[in-house]
């Protein structure tokens, strides 16, 4: 028997970009392990990564194209060839375009990230529709844009130079970014101190010097109070402020009202705890802030990220050893116009997009999911008749899920590309089988690290095709083949041009790092209009947005709707599990064993007041509706806060019932009809008013807090 072959690659089970070693024996993948030489994860791998072989060979994986026969959603399918499947999709979308205009076709991109996103966006732009929708408004884009508007670039923590203090803000690293969790813990062992900002006691919160357990959705108020303390007590970096910033005096005047005493009433944090955290962070040199997805989940998302960026800047922690770096990435082009063909959507076409009247940041080139869903149902500003969904399960991941269901049912034509028959795919006319990361070559460059890593094909399952093959195949049948590369290697060679490597050469190298340099601003300034860090943004003001971060109380909160809080006295937030990526993975045995059921965490006192015991199935109810999850008691939670699971459906349930998509789907009870972020359209996903009760009860009271 031949010796096992070991192939160096990058995990694709989430977006963290962990290096892996793939073991192949007799043409079959037998193991996926962490690569100890990877600069991202140093050999550590989460349960999702370790389950990659289960995903690859799962008996329920889609392995050939399917066409729905009979009523949509009843689970009746027939196998078709790739030629028929791609031809049908192209014919249907082209017919809509030719009869009604390309804008009446929309494209949805899910959470694949990296080059995969660029393929689908390129196809949408080549097709000529401005209606390209993602969930970027609640995932990464608010932080990216805020960082760019403040200091000209997205920042990444410099762990290698040993920060004295790490602030983990709204990021449960052990469950979502295992490599960064490992690197953080390694720093703590070396003497680095830790501040954690999170309503939930994460594993890192247990290790923290201080844990700021704020009310969900109030992060911006806390950040402004910390800025207040740092300026008021003259803890800022005076030289950096004087030479490399604009708007400091305006910021100083602005934050006077955000005293710890005032913000304490908003965040539920003691004033002295806010002051202590601000002083400790400002005096710890150097320091980094490691932020997460929770920052994006609210109406203040962009301005929260602006305020956190300002904290980095005024303390002099930008682009210094052990601080928050303005990195030099090894690649240029991912997400750029020459890859996505974004420039093909000119001003006149862009003005036709759904939701054009909402006036988001000019940087934000997306159609909001709720706007797309509303347009399909209400046919305003025009009908959307055709939809192509790529690496997404919007029936589970879009807010106000009942309306998403109505919209998907109303479409003239729906095509979906995925690994499994998801609740969304079950409503499609055509379903295409997508390849996993083990089945195609790529270049992976996560935004969290200044590295590019190789991803290598090691096996082929059935008729599954890579995302590049699918989108280029559709492009060819739509007559757009001249706008796509002949093969994926040509594309990868183009992406790698800044490194001077071809993809075949890159495979041997495995990883390329960007150049490391500190204090680059001393020579070239910052990539902002003024060339300095912009605390007060004239550009934002000229676009009609707040030039300084202003805290606005979210809707559906105890302060914005005190009368509603009488009926719904608890505060709902959500968390992700280490075992799942959003709505993915519930059919994988090892992952399901680790987290078998949807769980809502609540304080024992809250449970006792309502006769709820550990393990009871309970209703979570908002004014929007109710869903069921299983109660788990957690002493560390605030008694008025409950924390629910996200993305739950049940692959084992009957296909014609869409796999139990409604029973525990938290998006059933999240209302998206009201206020959202003016800059990026982010929705209020945390801090919602709710009540929790057992079946048969009709009320969840609040325990007395002593």
Do 105 and 165 lie in one domain? The reply is: no
Answer yes or no: is 549 within a domain.
Answer: no
Do residues 62 and 85 make contact, with C-beta atoms less than 8 angstroms apart? no
Do 135 and 189 lie in one domain? The reply is: no
Q: Where are the beta strands (DSSP E) in 296-401?
A: 324-325, 386-390
User: What's 608's domain CATH number?
Assistant: 2.40.40.20
Q: What are phi and psi of 564, to 5 degrees?
A: -65, -30
Answer yes or no: is 664 within a domain.
Answer: yes
Do 310 and 385 lie in one domain? The reply is: no
Answer yes or no: is 16 within a domain.
Answer: no
> Other CB atoms closer than 10 Å to residue 324's CB: what's the count?
29
Do 589 and 606 lie in one domain? The reply is: yes
> Other CB atoms closer than 10 Å to residue 564's CB: what's the count?
16
Q: Which residues of 103-142 are buried (b: 16+ CB within 10 A; e: fewer)?
A: bbbbbbbbbbbbbbbbbbbbbbbbbebbbbbbbbbbbbbb
Do 400 and 256 lie in one domain? The reply is: no
Do 348 and 311 lie in one domain? The reply is: no
Answer yes or no: is 418 within a domain.
Answer: yes
Do 402 and 358 lie in one domain? The reply is: yes
Short-list 258, 256, 254, CA closest to 266: 258
CA distances from 475 to 114, 447, 490 (A): 20, 28, 16
Q: Is 320 helix (H, G, I), strand (E, B) or coil?
A: coil
Do residues 177 and 16 make contact, with C-beta atoms less than 8 angstroms apart? yes
Answer yes or no: is 657 within a domain.
Answer: yes
Q: What's residue 554's pLDDT?
A: 95
Tally of residues, the chain: 706
Number of domains composing the chain:
3
Distance, CA of 590 to CA of 578 (rounded, Å): 12
Short-list 571, 625, 581, 559, CA closest to 601: 571
Strand partners, 108: 133, 389
Supply 232's token pair: 């008021």
Answer yes or no: is 49 within a domain.
Answer: no
Domain that holds residue 575: 562-694
Q: What's residue 702's pLDDT?
A: 46
Residue 417, Cα to own-chain centre: how many angstroms? 20
Distance, CA of 304 to CA of 687 (rounded, Å): 15
**Mean pLDDT in each 10-residue stretch from start to end of the chain (706 residues)?**
89 94 97 96 97 98 96 92 98 98 97 77 97 95 97 95 97 95 96 98 97 98 98 98 98 98 98 98 98 96 98 98 92 68 95 94 95 98 97 96 98 98 97 97 88 95 96 97 93 91 95 91 97 98 98 96 97 96 97 98 96 96 97 98 97 90 97 88 95 74 40
User: What's 440's domain CATH number?
Assistant: 3.40.50.740
Strands 625-633 and 617-622: antiparallel
Distance, CA of 478 to CA of 138 (rounded, Å): 32
Short-list 624, 642, 635, CA closest to 693: 642
Do 211 and 349 lie in one domain? The reply is: no
Do 407 and 296 lie in one domain? The reply is: no
Q: What's residue 706's pLDDT?
A: 27
Distance, CA of 620 to CA of 121 (rounded, Å): 37
> Other CB atoms closer than 10 Å to residue 256's CB: what's the count?
10
Distance, CA of 104 to CA of 160 (rounded, Å): 49
Answer yes or no: is 112 within a domain.
Answer: yes
Do 487 and 574 lie in one domain? The reply is: no
Q: Is 132 helix (H, G, I), strand (E, B) or coil?
A: strand
Q: What's residue 112's pLDDT?
A: 63
User: What's 229's domain CATH number?
Assistant: 3.40.228.10
Do 462 and 429 lie in one domain? The reply is: yes
Residue 644 exposed, middle or buried by CB count within 10 Å (0-12, 13-18, 19+) = buried
Long-range contacts of 187-193 (CB under 8 A, 24+ apart): 187/159, 187/162, 187/163, 190/162, 192/162, 192/163, 192/164, 192/165, 192/166, 193/164, 193/165, 193/166, 193/280, 193/284
Supply 188's token pair: 């703590």
Answer yes or no: is 35 within a domain.
Answer: no
Do 413 and 527 lie in one domain? The reply is: no
């Amino acid at each position: 028997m031949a010796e096992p072959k070991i192939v160096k690659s990058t995990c694709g089970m989430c977006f963290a970009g962990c290096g892996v070693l793939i073991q192949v024996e007799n043409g079959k993948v037998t193991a996926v392990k962490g690569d100890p030489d990877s600069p991202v994860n140093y050999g550590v791998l989460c349960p999702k990564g370790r389950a990659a072989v289960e995903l690859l060979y799962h008996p329920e994986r889609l392995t050939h194209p399917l066409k729905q026969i009979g009523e949509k959603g009843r689970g009746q399918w027939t196998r078709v060839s790739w030629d028929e499947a791609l031809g049908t999709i192209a014919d249907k979308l082209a017919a809509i375009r030719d009869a009604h205009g390309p804008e009446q076709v929309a494209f949805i991109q899910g959470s694949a990230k990296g080059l995969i996103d660029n393929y689908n966006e390129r196809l949408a732009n080549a097709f000529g529709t401005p209606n390209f929708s993602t969930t970027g408004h609640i995932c990464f884009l608010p932080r990216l844009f805020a960082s760019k508007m403040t200091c000209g670039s997205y920042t990444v923590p410099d762990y290698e130079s040993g920060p004295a203090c790490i602030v983990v803000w709204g990021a449960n690293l052990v469950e979502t970014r295992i490599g960064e969790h490992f690197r953080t813990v390694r720093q703590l062992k070396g003497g680095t101190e830790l501040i954690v900002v999170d309503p939930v006691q994460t594993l890192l919160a247990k290790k923290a010097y201080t844990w700021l357990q704020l009310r969900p959705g109030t992060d911006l108020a806390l950040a402004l109070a910390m800025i207040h303390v740092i300026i008021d007590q003259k803890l800022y970096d005076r030289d950096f402020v004087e030479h490399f910033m604009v708007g400091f005096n305006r910021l100083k005047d602005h934050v006077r009202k955000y005293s710890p005493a005032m913000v304490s009433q908003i965040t539920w944090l003691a004033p002295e705890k806010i002051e202590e955290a601000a002083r400790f962070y400002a005096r710890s040199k150097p320091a980094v802030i490691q932020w997460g997805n929770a920052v994006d989940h609210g109406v203040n998302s962009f301005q929260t990220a602006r305020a956190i960026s300002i904290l980095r800047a005024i303390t002099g922690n930008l682009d210094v050893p052990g601080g928050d770096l303005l990195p030099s990435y090894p690649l240029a082009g991912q997400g750029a116009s020459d890859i996505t063909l974004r420039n093909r959507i000119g001003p006149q076409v862009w003005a036709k997009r759904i939701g054009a009247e909402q006036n988001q940041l000019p940087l934000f080139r997306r159609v909001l999911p709720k706007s797309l869903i509303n347009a399909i149902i209400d046919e305003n500003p025009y009908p959307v008749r055709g939809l192509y969904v790529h690496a997404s399960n919007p029936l589970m991941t879009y807010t106000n899920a009942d309306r998403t269901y109505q919209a998907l049912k109303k479409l003239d034509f729906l095509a979906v590309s995925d690994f499994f028959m998801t609740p969304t795919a079950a409503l499609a006319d055509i379903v295409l089988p997508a390849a996993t990361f083990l089945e195609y070559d790529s270049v992976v460059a996560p935004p969290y690290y200044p590295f590019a890593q190789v991803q290598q094909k090691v096996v082929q399952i059935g008729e599954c095709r890579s995302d590049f093959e699918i989108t280029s195949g559709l492009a060819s049948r739509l007559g757009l083949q001249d706008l796509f590369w002949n093969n994926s290697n040509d594309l990868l060679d183009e992406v790698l041009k800044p490194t001077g490597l071809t993809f075949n050469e890159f495979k041997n190298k495995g990883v390329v790092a960007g150049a490391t340099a500190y204090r680059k601003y001393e020579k070239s300034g910052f990539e902002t209009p003024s060339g300095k860090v912009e605390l007060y943004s004239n550009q934002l003001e000229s676009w009609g947005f707040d030039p300084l971060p202003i805290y606005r109380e979210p809707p559906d909160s105890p302060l914005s709707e005190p009368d509603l809080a009488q009926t719904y006295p608890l505060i709902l937030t959500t968390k992700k599990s280490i075992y799942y990526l959003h709505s993915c993975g519930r059919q994988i045995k090892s992952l399901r064993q680790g987290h078998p059921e949807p769980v809502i965490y609540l304080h024992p006192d809250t449970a006792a007041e309502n006769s709820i015991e550990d393990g009871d199935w309970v209703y979570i109810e908002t004014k929007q509706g109710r869903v069921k999850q299983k109660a788990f008691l957690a002493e560390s939670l605030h008694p008025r806060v409950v924390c629910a699971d996200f993305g739950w459906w049940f692959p084992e349930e009957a296909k014609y019932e869409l796999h139990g998509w409604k029973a525990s789907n938290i998006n059933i009870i999240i209302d998206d009809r009201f206020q959202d972020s003016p800059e990026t359209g982010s929705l209020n996903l945390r801090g919602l008013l709710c009540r929790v009760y057992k079946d048969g009860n009709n009320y969840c009271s609040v325990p007395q807090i002593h």
